[in-house]
Each structure stands twice: as C-alpha cells, then as structure tokens.
Chain A
Amino acid sequence: MALSWRSWLANEGSKHLFLFFWLSLNVWFFGKTFLLYYQGLQYYYLHQMLGLGLCVSRASASVLNLNCCLVLLPMCRVLLAFLRGSQRVASRKTRRLLDKSKTFHVTCGVTICIFSVLHVAAHLVNALNFSENYNEDFPAINAANYRGEDPRKLLFATVPGLTGVIMVLVLFLMCTASTYAIRVSNYDIFWYTHNLFFVFYILLMLHVSGGVLKYQTNLEEHPPGCFNPNKTLRQNMTMPKAFEELFPDYTTECFPQDLPVPEPFVQNNLMRICSEEPKFQSHFPETWLWISGPLCLYCVERLYRYIRSNKPVTITSVISHPSNVLEVRMVKDDFKARPGQYVILHCPRVSTLESHPFTLTMCPTDTKATFGVHLKVVGDWTERFRDLLLLHSNQDAEILPIFQQRRYPNDDWKCYKLRRLYFVWVCRDVESFRWFADLLCMLHNKLWQENRPDYINIQLYLSQTDGIQKIIGEKYQALNSRLLIGRPRWKLLFDEIAKCNRRKTIGVFCCGPNKISKILHKLSNSSNSYGTRFEYNKESFS
C-alpha cells in the first residue's frame, strides 16, 4: 500500500510537528543547562570537584522540570474538553491534536523515567565525588562533612537524598503498573498506583529545597582560579594550566583535572589576585515555579469533578440484552450531552473507590431528558452492578449511582458536513447485534420514508461462525440482508468507499481493539486512485 503524502500529512502532520517542537524544547533545555554548568564561572569550583556528573545531573534535572510540568496538563480533561468544545478552537486540526492528549502524557511520563535514571546515576557519581574530592579550601561548597565520608550517608541521611530515593521507588511502582498488559488486565492496579503521583510531587518539592548545590556569588572580587598570595599552595589548590606556563616557580604538582580555563581570565592574561574568599549560596528552588501551576490546576480540576459528581442520578429503567449486556437509562437535572461523549459511573454500593467510563448510547434531547448507556458485564464491578440492579431492584434510593460526566472529545463528526454514513459493526456472536437492532431498523425505515436510503450504509459482520446460517431475527429483515459472515476486508471496503466519494474527505472513526485500529490507521494513510482523503480518529479507554 503506497503512502499518500496528503493523507499522511492530514493524519500525522500536526502530531509530528508538535512532537518535534517538544523535543527541541527538551534538547534546548538540556544543552543550555549543561553548558551553564560546564562553562559558568559561578560553578567553577563545584565543577572542579564533581566533574561531568554535575553537568549531567543538572541538565537532566532541567528536562525533568519541564516534563513534570507538562505531564499534568493533558490530564486536565475538563479543561481540555472545554477548549475543544468552545468556539475559540475552531480548527479541526487543533481538535484532533487535543485528542492525542493521553499519548502526550505517556510521552512525557516515559521521558521523566528515562531522565530520572540519568539524574540518579549522575548524582550517585556526584555523591562519590563529594566524598573523595572534599574541598578543604572552601568548606562551604561541600556536601560531605569530611573527606572520605561514606557516600551512602549523603544519599540516605540528607533531605534531597532521602526524598530522591523514595521518589525513585514511587516512580518504579507507577511505571511497572502502567504497562499496557497491566492496564488491559488489571486496570485497578494502574489506577491506584498512578494516584501516587501526588506523593511524588510533594517529595519533589521537598527534594529541591535541600540546597546542596551552591553557586559563587562574588565573582568580581574573587574570579575563579585567581591567585591567593596569603595561602600556602597545597596539593588541591586550583591552578589553571595556563598559569603553570606563565609562573612555573609558583606552581605545585599535578592539577587534578584538565579544566577549561575561564575565557576572560585567559584573554586578560593577568595574574588576578583574589581580594576575598569566594562566597557561596544555594539556588532558589526553580522547580517550585515549574510545577506549582500545573499541580494546582490539576487539583482544582479533580475537586471540581468531585463536587460536580455529588449529585445523584435516577435510574428509570434497566433492560437486559443478550450476550450479557445491560442497558441502563437515567435522568439527571441539568444534564446536557452530545453524541460521542461518555460518562463515568460511580456506585458507592458496588465499590467505594472504583468508577468506570461508558459511552452514551442515548443522549438527552430537548424533549426527553433520559439518557442511557449500554454496559457489558465483563468484570467484577459490572457483575455486582448488574446484580444490584436486577436482583435487588426493590431496594430504595441508596442505589442511585453518583455520576460524573466528562466530555470526551470524540464528537468530532460534527465538523464533517455529513453526507453519508458508513456504519461497520463487527461482532463475534450474532445475538450481540440485537443490542441496537431495533434502533438501526427504525433509522433505516425513517430514512427510507424520507427518500434518503443511501444516507446510512449499514454493514454487519459476524467474525466467528460455526458454519450454520445465522440471522439476527425474523423481524429485522433490513439487517439480515446486510449481515456478512467473516471479518471485513478493510482494503476492499476502503477502495469502495473511496470510489463512491471521489475527492472528498472521509472521517474514519474506530472504536475497537488495537489490531483493527492499526490496520485502519495504515489504510487511512495510504493512497488511492480516486483522490479521496481519509482522516483517522480513534477512541480507547485503556
């Protein structure tokens, strides 16, 4: 399948551009901080003591600052939904970019993990160097108390060290519970461990308050590497190499490290004499500025969601469908929703802590306030919920589920001037089609009456068959004739749709397992000979 540049650009272009921008930002921060500590005069003595470990640890810290700030923003779903739905964000491209918020969150998370590893490794080396290269001349700059102090004490008995270690453990727990396999099989573990992020951020704020690394404040009075005639020259005295060449009589033995001589010093070619001892001061914790904004924003959003969810909902009816599916219809005051959005149901009697998302299958309209969801009984929460609704339905108001409404971005179909709708539905069991068989038939009849029979093209596929001819039901003739056995052949389907809609833009909306999604994504990017463009959209909860 040849790649179509127009389709690829439409589907992937803005995503990749954004990613490139984010990557450049990271590289820039890393490089800028690295060079600052490598060349900066105020870090001269510190660099001499710690070497490359200082530069790597600080550079990775600045990347971590950026990503810890950015990682929370895609999770402010109420805010994103507001942006997405408002008139200000009119472009479809921006809306589709906002849809990728979860992917961006994962990207930032992975970056945090990788750079944490780098940061920790560099600081371990720093701990060793603080211990071995204890600076007797300028004791203020040291983190160790004496030469040769056990580096493990620096790691575990200082505030930055201890908070750092605990943060790594929290990150380890969060990371191992966030893999795809765990999310798909035991979502609870992922959800509960991920809420440890709050502990992580609190520890982060304590971590940077330690003030271990210091910079020199009096560069004018004491240019680094200057000559102090009052002090006797000891082995670890700082003497740049250029100095040795100029004044061989005054130099001692080896200079521990071949450091780059500060530029202004060499250029002036003067023997600068120190007028006073260097003074050192800790940095202001820059991280507080980075993370306080997003953290507050996210906390406010969680609070808002919690407050809004406290109004209970009334269940008006519960219908049992074949293949273990339950339809629940509810009413709630002041509830508005658009097709494609989902709600999160929370029922304290079933489980105090769990809440689950379900796409709305019926939205409230101006005339009717009822809305509904279909839920399939798969795990323990849905089982208990079904038992509660069906078996104990004579019990009273305690059952009312408290519910949160979220605006999920996939109501994008409004942006497309809908001329035709192709509805492709793949099920394993023929009974499953009954969930919406009535609705589909009714819709088909209505459009037939309005003389628009080709507005909806329904194609139903039965993916697993045991060879016997199946029908959905005698009264669903419109659907029986559109039932095909076997999996859909997507390439042929795409070709046919492209041929019937030449030079148009077609929105592809996929809700299903990853395998189908990958195939459809690839097909949406590939070229066809009719000039049709496919824009790919996906919805997934895991």
Chain B
Amino acid sequence: MGQIEWAMWANEQALAAGLIMLTGGIVAVAGQFKGWYFAAYAIVAGVLVCLLEYPRSKRIKGSTMERCGQKYLTAVVKLFGPLTRNYYIRAVLHAALAVPAGFLLSTILGTVCLAIASGIYLLAAVRGEEWRPIEQKPRERPHMGDTIKQPPSNPPPRPPAEARRKQPPEAGGQVNPIPVEAE
C-alpha cells in the first residue's frame, strides 16, 4: 500500500460529488421545492467544484491519463498557485462548500459525497501530495541532420559500428544460466 496516490481517488470523488450536487440542485430548482435557494447555491457550488477538479494532477511516477480537453482548465487552475496546489486548502474548501447544500433533501447526497472527498484530500495532504499541472510536451521535430555527422571514413564494405570497436559487443550480456529448451 506504500505508493497509493490518494489524491487521484479524491479527485474522482470530488468530480462525481460536484455532478451529483449539480443534478440535485437542478431538480430542486426546476421543481420549485421549498428552500430552492439552497438548490441554486448547490448548482453554483457544483459547477465550481467540477471546474476545479476537472484537470487531473500529474502522477509522481508514470504517465497520467489526461481528461479530454483538460489543458484549458489546467492553465486556469495553475494561475491560482498555492491555493489550488495545496491539498489542505482543497480539503477545507470542499468541506465548506458541502455544508450549505446539506439543508435540502435533494442535494444532501452531494453534501455527503463531497465531504468524503474532502476527507480523502485531507489524507492526501497529510501524506505530502500536491497538485501538479500536466504540461504539454513540445513536439520534437525529428532532426534529419543529426545522425549524419560525418561522412564514413572507411570505404565499403563496412562492418557495423559495434564490430569496429575493440571491446566485446555484449557488455553485461545475457548469458542464460539455465539452458532454454524448446519443447
């Protein structure tokens, strides 16, 4: 369990919770339930949470799967610097956003889910995780000229480069200690 990145799971949960809150809010506003202003708040909070959580953070080791079109939101989220980078702040923010939606029946599920996400973010923050933006790698144009450094010095036939070197070709080579049999 050593290398679990809790923030990634918290991110999925927060995104789902934002959507749940948004849906509950829309239903309550459309049905004009009692206390529908809580629902209006839930819609705004849901949208905010979704926008904040949409860009996935870069993993510590390995490649990260980006969400479709997340680079635009990454640029925006990056602007807030430590406010969005630090997971303690995110945990507190989600907990605070979750509370008002708890007063209406249709958004109460969103509240609980967001609270769970906030808890997992706290765990991630305690373990020192941080939000890192996924940068776009500049596409390297294949340089055609690089491999051609100098014209060959020997006339043909020319053995491959490895044979020309005096050292053994298989440095640290593979010698199977146990013979392989094909059956």
Contacts and interface: CB of A to CB of B under 8 A. Distances in A.
Interface of A: 120-121, 124, 127-128, 151-152, 155, 168-169, 172-173, 175-177, 179-182, 184-186, 188-189, 317, 319, 321-322, 329, 351, 353-354, 365, 379-380, 434, 437-439, 442-443, 445-446, 467-469, 471, 473-474
B62 A185 contact: yes
Contacts of A353: 1
4 nearest A-B residue pairs (beta carbon)? A442-B182, A438-B180, A467-B147, A443-B182
Contacts of B176: 319, 438
A84 to B, nearest CB: 24
Contact of A365 (B109, B113, B172, B183): B183
Contacts of A188: 1, 4
7 contacts: A151-B105, A181-B65, A182-B9, A185-B59, A189-B4, A322-B172, A473-B174
B8 A319 contact: no
Given A172-B113, A321-B174, A469 B160 contact: yes
Nearest to B59: A185
B170 A473 contact: yes
B160 A471 contact: yes
A121 B116 CA distance: 21
B174 A437 contact: yes
A319 B179 CA distance: 12
Given A181-B65, A443-B182, A124 B13 contact: no
Interface string B153-178: 00000001110000001101110111
B181 interface: yes
B2 interface: yes
Contact of A182 (B1, B8, B161, B181): B8
Contact of A175 (B3, B16, B160): B16
Given A186-B8, A189-B4, A181 B146 contact: no
Of A179, A321, A446, chain B has the most CB atoms within 10 Å of the CB of A179
B104 to A, nearest CB: 10
B64 A185 contact: yes
B51 interface: no
Nearest to B67: A181
A280 B72 CA distance: 59
Given A181-B56, A471-B160, A446 B182 contact: yes
A515 to B, nearest CB: 12
A254 to B, nearest CB: 21
Contacts of B56: 181
A353 B4 CA distance: 14
Contacts of A120: 109
A150 to B, nearest CB: 10
B112 interface: yes
A169 B112 contact: yes
B57 to A, nearest CB: 11
A530 B6 CA distance: 52
B169 A474 contact: yes
Given A319-B178, A473-B173, A186 B113 contact: no
Nearest to A444: B182
B181 A442 contact: yes
B8 A185 contact: yes
A177 B109 CA distance: 18
B3 A379 contact: yes
B62 to A, nearest CB: 7
A467 B146 contact: yes
Contacts of B174: 321-322, 434, 437, 473
A172 B65 contact: no
A438 B6 CA distance: 42
Given A185-B62, A185-B65, A186-B5, 4 more contacts: A172-B116, A189-B6, A351-B1, A469-B161
A314 to B, nearest CB: 16
B66 to A, nearest CB: 9
B75 to A, nearest CB: 21
Given A172-B113, A474-B169, A184 B13 contact: no
Contacts of A127: 105
Contacts of A354: 1
Contact of B4 (A168, A175, A186): A186
Contacts of A467: 146-147
